[in-house]
Structure 1
Amino acid sequence: MTTTRLTRYDRTMLRLMNDRRGAAWYATAARRRLAVASHITLTVAIGALMTHFYLAEGEPLWPVAATAALMLPWMVATGVINGATRGLLELRQHALDERQSAERSRVLARSHRVTTLLLATAVLALLAAGLADGDAPKAYAAPLLVAVLVTHWVMPLWVAGLRVQDEPTEDDVLEAEALGR
Protein backbone atom coordinates (compact mmCIF):
# COMPACT_ATOMS: atom_id res chain seq x y z
CA MET A 1 0.00 0.00 0.00
CA THR A 2 1.09 3.54 -0.55
CA THR A 3 1.67 6.07 2.18
CA THR A 4 -1.76 7.65 1.52
CA ARG A 5 -3.96 7.33 4.57
CA LEU A 6 -6.88 5.01 4.11
CA THR A 7 -10.33 6.43 4.67
CA ARG A 8 -13.00 4.62 6.65
CA TYR A 9 -14.52 3.51 3.36
CA ASP A 10 -11.15 2.09 2.23
CA ARG A 11 -10.69 0.17 5.47
CA THR A 12 -14.24 -1.21 5.29
CA MET A 13 -13.78 -2.31 1.67
CA LEU A 14 -10.39 -3.89 2.48
CA ARG A 15 -11.95 -5.82 5.34
CA LEU A 16 -14.91 -6.89 3.19
CA MET A 17 -12.81 -7.95 0.19
CA ASN A 18 -10.38 -9.91 2.35
CA ASP A 19 -13.09 -11.71 4.33
CA ARG A 20 -12.36 -15.41 3.86
CA ARG A 21 -15.73 -16.74 5.06
CA GLY A 22 -16.88 -17.28 1.47
CA ALA A 23 -13.57 -18.77 0.32
CA ALA A 24 -15.15 -22.18 -0.33
CA TRP A 25 -17.00 -20.62 -3.29
CA TYR A 26 -13.71 -19.80 -5.07
CA ALA A 27 -11.08 -21.98 -3.40
CA THR A 28 -10.14 -23.86 -6.57
CA ALA A 29 -9.50 -22.80 -10.14
CA ALA A 30 -12.47 -24.88 -11.30
CA ARG A 31 -14.82 -23.05 -8.92
CA ARG A 32 -13.49 -19.68 -10.05
CA ARG A 33 -13.98 -20.64 -13.71
CA LEU A 34 -17.51 -21.80 -12.85
CA ALA A 35 -18.22 -18.46 -11.15
CA VAL A 36 -16.95 -16.54 -14.19
CA ALA A 37 -18.88 -18.81 -16.60
CA SER A 38 -22.03 -18.36 -14.50
CA HIS A 39 -21.55 -14.60 -14.49
CA ILE A 40 -21.07 -14.53 -18.27
CA THR A 41 -24.15 -16.73 -18.79
CA LEU A 42 -26.29 -14.57 -16.51
CA THR A 43 -25.03 -11.39 -18.19
CA VAL A 44 -25.91 -12.79 -21.63
CA ALA A 45 -29.33 -13.96 -20.41
CA ILE A 46 -30.13 -10.56 -18.91
CA GLY A 47 -28.96 -8.85 -22.09
CA ALA A 48 -31.05 -11.18 -24.25
CA LEU A 49 -34.15 -10.55 -22.15
CA MET A 50 -33.68 -6.79 -22.34
CA THR A 51 -33.08 -6.99 -26.10
CA HIS A 52 -36.28 -9.02 -26.49
CA PHE A 53 -38.16 -6.43 -24.46
CA TYR A 54 -36.68 -3.64 -26.59
CA LEU A 55 -37.40 -5.26 -29.95
CA ALA A 56 -40.76 -6.91 -29.26
CA GLU A 57 -43.70 -4.62 -29.76
CA GLY A 58 -46.70 -5.03 -27.51
CA GLU A 59 -45.06 -7.72 -25.39
CA PRO A 60 -46.00 -8.03 -21.74
CA LEU A 61 -43.50 -7.16 -19.06
CA TRP A 62 -42.31 -10.75 -18.47
CA PRO A 63 -38.77 -10.03 -19.76
CA VAL A 64 -38.40 -7.30 -17.12
CA ALA A 65 -39.62 -9.65 -14.37
CA ALA A 66 -37.25 -12.39 -15.55
CA THR A 67 -34.39 -9.89 -15.62
CA ALA A 68 -35.17 -8.83 -12.06
CA ALA A 69 -35.16 -12.48 -10.98
CA LEU A 70 -31.75 -13.06 -12.61
CA MET A 71 -30.18 -10.03 -10.94
CA LEU A 72 -29.77 -11.72 -7.53
CA PRO A 73 -27.70 -14.67 -8.82
CA TRP A 74 -25.79 -12.21 -11.03
CA MET A 75 -24.91 -10.13 -7.95
CA VAL A 76 -23.87 -13.26 -6.02
CA ALA A 77 -21.59 -14.32 -8.89
CA THR A 78 -20.11 -10.80 -8.95
CA GLY A 79 -19.41 -11.04 -5.22
CA VAL A 80 -17.77 -14.45 -5.60
CA ILE A 81 -15.43 -13.12 -8.30
CA ASN A 82 -14.67 -10.00 -6.26
CA GLY A 83 -13.92 -12.17 -3.24
CA ALA A 84 -11.63 -14.40 -5.29
CA THR A 85 -9.68 -11.39 -6.56
CA ARG A 86 -9.68 -9.81 -3.09
CA GLY A 87 -11.29 -6.71 -4.53
CA LEU A 88 -8.65 -6.11 -7.16
CA LEU A 89 -11.02 -3.97 -9.21
CA GLU A 90 -13.22 -2.69 -6.39
CA LEU A 91 -10.59 -1.22 -4.08
CA ARG A 92 -9.18 2.22 -4.71
CA GLN A 93 -5.70 2.35 -6.19
CA HIS A 94 -4.07 3.66 -3.00
CA ALA A 95 -5.48 0.70 -1.03
CA LEU A 96 -3.61 -1.83 -3.21
CA ASP A 97 -0.06 -3.05 -2.67
CA GLU A 98 2.49 -3.04 -5.52
CA ARG A 99 1.69 -6.60 -6.63
CA GLN A 100 -2.04 -5.93 -6.72
CA SER A 101 -1.52 -2.65 -8.54
CA ALA A 102 0.58 -4.37 -11.21
CA GLU A 103 -1.99 -7.17 -11.53
CA ARG A 104 -4.78 -4.61 -11.90
CA SER A 105 -2.85 -2.96 -14.73
CA ARG A 106 -2.36 -6.33 -16.48
CA VAL A 107 -6.05 -7.23 -16.09
CA LEU A 108 -7.21 -3.88 -17.42
CA ALA A 109 -4.82 -4.05 -20.39
CA ARG A 110 -5.91 -7.57 -21.34
CA SER A 111 -9.62 -6.81 -20.96
CA HIS A 112 -9.17 -3.64 -23.03
CA ARG A 113 -7.64 -5.69 -25.86
CA VAL A 114 -10.47 -8.26 -25.74
CA THR A 115 -13.13 -5.55 -25.68
CA THR A 116 -11.49 -3.76 -28.60
CA LEU A 117 -11.67 -6.98 -30.64
CA LEU A 118 -15.30 -7.46 -29.61
CA LEU A 119 -16.19 -3.91 -30.62
CA ALA A 120 -14.46 -4.34 -33.99
CA THR A 121 -16.38 -7.59 -34.51
CA ALA A 122 -19.68 -5.86 -33.67
CA VAL A 123 -18.96 -3.08 -36.16
CA LEU A 124 -18.02 -5.57 -38.88
CA ALA A 125 -21.17 -7.61 -38.17
CA LEU A 126 -23.38 -4.54 -38.53
CA LEU A 127 -21.58 -3.50 -41.73
CA ALA A 128 -21.84 -7.01 -43.18
CA ALA A 129 -25.54 -7.18 -42.32
CA GLY A 130 -26.01 -3.79 -43.95
CA LEU A 131 -24.25 -4.93 -47.11
CA ALA A 132 -26.32 -8.11 -47.31
CA ASP A 133 -29.60 -6.32 -46.62
CA GLY A 134 -28.88 -3.09 -48.45
CA ASP A 135 -29.29 -1.04 -45.29
CA ALA A 136 -27.74 -1.29 -41.85
CA PRO A 137 -30.16 -3.01 -39.45
CA LYS A 138 -30.99 -0.03 -37.27
CA ALA A 139 -33.20 -2.03 -34.92
CA TYR A 140 -30.25 -4.16 -33.83
CA ALA A 141 -27.70 -1.35 -33.52
CA ALA A 142 -28.80 -0.09 -30.10
CA PRO A 143 -29.00 -3.53 -28.41
CA LEU A 144 -25.65 -4.51 -29.92
CA LEU A 145 -23.99 -1.32 -28.69
CA VAL A 146 -25.48 -1.82 -25.23
CA ALA A 147 -24.19 -5.41 -25.22
CA VAL A 148 -20.70 -4.23 -26.13
CA LEU A 149 -20.86 -1.52 -23.45
CA VAL A 150 -21.92 -4.02 -20.78
CA THR A 151 -19.20 -6.41 -21.89
CA HIS A 152 -16.66 -3.59 -21.71
CA TRP A 153 -17.87 -2.85 -18.19
CA VAL A 154 -17.63 -6.42 -16.85
CA MET A 155 -14.71 -7.78 -18.92
CA PRO A 156 -12.08 -6.72 -16.34
CA LEU A 157 -13.99 -8.68 -13.69
CA TRP A 158 -14.08 -11.78 -15.89
CA VAL A 159 -10.39 -11.52 -16.77
CA ALA A 160 -9.42 -10.97 -13.14
CA GLY A 161 -11.55 -13.93 -12.05
CA LEU A 162 -9.86 -16.18 -14.58
CA ARG A 163 -6.34 -14.99 -13.69
CA VAL A 164 -6.57 -15.52 -9.91
CA GLN A 165 -4.07 -18.05 -8.56
CA ASP A 166 -4.83 -20.63 -5.86
CA GLU A 167 -3.97 -19.69 -2.30
CA PRO A 168 -0.86 -21.51 -1.05
CA THR A 169 -1.65 -24.44 1.24
CA GLU A 170 0.18 -25.16 4.49
CA ASP A 171 2.14 -27.91 2.71
CA ASP A 172 3.32 -25.40 0.10
CA VAL A 173 4.47 -23.00 2.79
CA LEU A 174 6.32 -25.73 4.73
CA GLU A 175 7.91 -26.97 1.52
CA ALA A 176 9.07 -23.46 0.61
CA GLU A 177 10.52 -22.97 4.09
CA ALA A 178 12.35 -26.31 3.88
CA LEU A 179 13.86 -25.38 0.52
CA GLY A 180 14.85 -21.95 1.83
CA ARG A 181 16.97 -23.35 4.66
Structure 2
Amino acid sequence: MAISSAELPRKKSLPRSRRFFRLIGSLFDPRAWAHVAKIVNYYNYSHVVPLRSVTFDGERNVSPDAVFQNGERIRIGENARIGSRCHFWAGPAHGRIVIGKHALFGPEVLITAASYRYNDGSPVTEQAMDEADVIVGDDVWVATRAVLLPGTVLGDGTIVGAGAMVRGEFPAMSILAGSPARIVGERRTSGLKN
Protein backbone atom coordinates (compact mmCIF):
# COMPACT_ATOMS: atom_id res chain seq x y z
CA MET A 1 0.00 0.00 0.00
CA ALA A 2 1.51 3.29 -1.10
CA ILE A 3 1.45 6.31 1.19
CA SER A 4 0.56 9.60 -0.38
CA SER A 5 2.78 12.60 0.22
CA ALA A 6 -0.07 14.27 2.09
CA GLU A 7 0.09 11.49 4.74
CA LEU A 8 3.85 11.73 5.33
CA PRO A 9 5.02 13.51 8.50
CA ARG A 10 6.21 17.07 8.11
CA LYS A 11 8.30 19.30 10.32
CA LYS A 12 6.16 21.84 12.10
CA SER A 13 7.34 25.41 12.39
CA LEU A 14 6.81 27.33 15.58
CA PRO A 15 4.80 30.52 15.26
CA ARG A 16 6.80 33.75 15.45
CA SER A 17 5.44 34.56 18.94
CA ARG A 18 6.62 31.18 20.33
CA ARG A 19 10.07 31.66 18.80
CA PHE A 20 10.26 35.13 20.40
CA PHE A 21 9.37 33.79 23.87
CA ARG A 22 11.87 30.95 23.41
CA LEU A 23 14.54 33.59 22.71
CA ILE A 24 13.61 35.62 25.79
CA GLY A 25 13.60 32.47 27.92
CA SER A 26 17.08 31.52 26.73
CA LEU A 27 18.43 34.95 27.72
CA PHE A 28 17.38 34.31 31.34
CA ASP A 29 18.38 30.64 31.48
CA PRO A 30 21.52 30.34 33.64
CA ARG A 31 22.44 27.07 31.90
CA ALA A 32 22.94 28.98 28.63
CA TRP A 33 25.27 31.48 30.32
CA ALA A 34 27.19 28.66 32.02
CA HIS A 35 27.69 27.09 28.59
CA VAL A 36 28.96 30.42 27.20
CA ALA A 37 31.51 30.52 30.04
CA LYS A 38 32.65 26.98 29.15
CA ILE A 39 33.06 27.96 25.48
CA VAL A 40 35.11 31.05 26.39
CA ASN A 41 37.28 28.93 28.70
CA TYR A 42 37.84 26.33 25.96
CA TYR A 43 38.72 29.00 23.40
CA ASN A 44 41.17 30.59 25.83
CA TYR A 45 43.08 27.40 26.72
CA SER A 46 42.97 25.87 23.23
CA HIS A 47 43.66 28.92 21.03
CA VAL A 48 44.47 32.21 22.76
CA VAL A 49 47.01 31.12 25.39
CA PRO A 50 48.93 28.48 23.37
CA LEU A 51 49.04 30.70 20.27
CA ARG A 52 51.18 33.16 22.26
CA SER A 53 53.91 30.53 22.60
CA VAL A 54 53.87 29.30 18.97
CA THR A 55 56.87 30.57 16.97
CA PHE A 56 55.91 32.29 13.71
CA ASP A 57 58.57 33.07 11.12
CA GLY A 58 56.33 35.66 9.49
CA GLU A 59 52.82 37.03 9.61
CA ARG A 60 50.21 34.96 11.48
CA ASN A 61 47.73 33.44 9.06
CA VAL A 62 45.70 31.33 11.48
CA SER A 63 41.95 30.74 11.53
CA PRO A 64 40.39 31.97 14.79
CA ASP A 65 39.01 28.50 15.56
CA ALA A 66 42.30 26.57 15.15
CA VAL A 67 43.44 24.64 18.24
CA PHE A 68 47.00 24.36 19.59
CA GLN A 69 48.52 22.23 22.35
CA ASN A 70 52.04 22.76 23.73
CA GLY A 71 52.61 25.77 21.50
CA GLU A 72 56.20 26.22 22.66
CA ARG A 73 57.07 23.17 20.49
CA ILE A 74 55.33 24.45 17.35
CA ARG A 75 57.05 26.51 14.65
CA ILE A 76 55.08 27.86 11.67
CA GLY A 77 56.93 29.13 8.61
CA GLU A 78 56.51 32.35 6.67
CA ASN A 79 53.23 32.70 4.73
CA ALA A 80 51.82 29.40 6.03
CA ARG A 81 48.02 29.32 6.23
CA ILE A 82 46.20 27.38 8.93
CA GLY A 83 42.56 26.60 8.06
CA SER A 84 39.40 26.45 10.12
CA ARG A 85 39.22 23.95 12.99
CA CYS A 86 42.78 22.65 12.47
CA HIS A 87 44.34 20.94 15.50
CA PHE A 88 48.11 21.14 16.06
CA TRP A 89 49.09 19.03 19.07
CA ALA A 90 52.80 19.05 19.87
CA GLY A 91 54.04 16.47 22.36
CA PRO A 92 53.89 17.13 26.11
CA ALA A 93 57.64 16.56 26.57
CA HIS A 94 59.63 16.91 23.34
CA GLY A 95 57.57 16.11 20.19
CA ARG A 96 57.72 19.15 17.88
CA ILE A 97 55.64 20.31 14.93
CA VAL A 98 57.66 22.26 12.35
CA ILE A 99 55.83 23.79 9.39
CA GLY A 100 57.70 25.16 6.36
CA LYS A 101 56.99 28.38 4.51
CA HIS A 102 54.01 28.73 2.13
CA ALA A 103 52.33 25.62 3.61
CA LEU A 104 48.55 25.42 3.27
CA PHE A 105 46.25 23.51 5.64
CA GLY A 106 42.61 22.94 4.75
CA PRO A 107 39.84 22.76 7.34
CA GLU A 108 39.94 20.21 10.16
CA VAL A 109 43.50 18.97 9.63
CA LEU A 110 44.95 17.19 12.68
CA ILE A 111 48.69 17.10 13.35
CA THR A 112 49.85 15.29 16.46
CA ALA A 113 53.40 14.69 17.64
CA ALA A 114 52.35 12.28 20.41
CA SER A 115 50.10 9.28 20.87
CA TYR A 116 49.18 7.13 23.85
CA ARG A 117 50.77 3.75 24.29
CA TYR A 118 48.10 1.07 24.52
CA ASN A 119 49.71 -2.10 25.87
CA ASP A 120 50.99 -0.73 29.18
CA GLY A 121 47.83 -1.22 31.23
CA SER A 122 44.58 0.52 31.77
CA PRO A 123 43.13 3.12 31.56
CA VAL A 124 44.77 4.23 28.33
CA THR A 125 44.68 7.90 29.39
CA GLU A 126 47.12 7.17 32.22
CA GLN A 127 49.70 5.46 30.02
CA ALA A 128 52.90 7.05 28.76
CA MET A 129 52.96 8.68 25.34
CA ASP A 130 55.24 8.01 22.39
CA GLU A 131 56.46 11.25 20.80
CA ALA A 132 58.12 12.01 17.48
CA ASP A 133 58.54 15.26 15.55
CA VAL A 134 56.27 16.09 12.62
CA ILE A 135 58.10 18.02 9.89
CA VAL A 136 56.18 19.63 7.02
CA GLY A 137 58.32 21.10 4.23
CA ASP A 138 57.89 24.29 2.21
CA ASP A 139 54.94 24.70 -0.18
CA VAL A 140 53.08 21.67 1.19
CA TRP A 141 49.29 21.47 0.83
CA VAL A 142 47.43 19.34 3.39
CA ALA A 143 43.77 19.01 2.39
CA THR A 144 40.64 18.83 4.53
CA ARG A 145 40.51 16.32 7.40
CA ALA A 146 43.92 14.82 6.77
CA VAL A 147 45.73 13.44 9.82
CA LEU A 148 49.52 13.64 10.25
CA LEU A 149 50.75 11.22 12.92
CA PRO A 150 53.94 11.34 15.03
CA GLY A 151 57.13 10.89 13.02
CA THR A 152 55.68 12.15 9.73
CA VAL A 153 58.08 14.01 7.44
CA LEU A 154 56.71 15.62 4.27
CA GLY A 155 59.22 16.84 1.68
CA ASP A 156 58.86 20.24 -0.02
CA GLY A 157 55.97 20.55 -2.44
CA THR A 158 54.05 17.52 -1.16
CA ILE A 159 50.26 17.38 -1.48
CA VAL A 160 48.21 15.36 1.02
CA GLY A 161 44.72 14.42 -0.16
CA ALA A 162 41.56 14.99 1.87
CA GLY A 163 41.03 12.47 4.65
CA ALA A 164 44.47 10.87 4.32
CA MET A 165 46.05 9.22 7.38
CA VAL A 166 49.78 9.94 7.13
CA ARG A 167 52.70 8.35 8.98
CA GLY A 168 56.25 8.04 7.70
CA GLU A 169 58.67 9.95 5.50
CA PHE A 170 57.71 11.06 1.99
CA PRO A 171 59.96 12.65 -0.65
CA ALA A 172 59.51 16.13 -2.11
CA MET A 173 56.73 16.64 -4.68
CA SER A 174 54.81 13.51 -3.62
CA ILE A 175 51.02 13.37 -3.92
CA LEU A 176 49.61 11.28 -1.07
CA ALA A 177 46.14 9.79 -0.60
CA GLY A 178 44.44 7.07 1.38
CA SER A 179 44.42 5.59 4.83
CA PRO A 180 47.15 4.68 5.36
CA ALA A 181 48.53 7.29 2.97
CA ARG A 182 50.62 6.18 0.04
CA ILE A 183 52.18 7.95 -2.92
CA VAL A 184 49.65 8.13 -5.78
CA GLY A 185 51.40 10.64 -8.00
CA GLU A 186 54.08 13.26 -8.35
CA ARG A 187 53.65 17.00 -8.44
CA ARG A 188 55.14 18.81 -11.41
CA THR A 189 55.95 22.49 -11.11
CA SER A 190 58.44 24.90 -12.58
CA GLY A 191 59.91 25.57 -9.14
CA LEU A 192 59.20 26.90 -5.70
CA LYS A 193 59.04 30.62 -4.99
CA ASN A 194 61.21 31.91 -2.18
Q: TM-score, normalised by structure 1?
A: 0.24
Which structure is higher in RCO with an 8 Å CA cutoff and minimum separation 6?
1
From the two aligned structures, give the one with the greater helix fraction.
1
Q: TM-score, normalised by structure 2?
A: 0.23
From the two aligned structures, give the one with the greater strand fraction.
2
Higher gyration radius (CA): 2
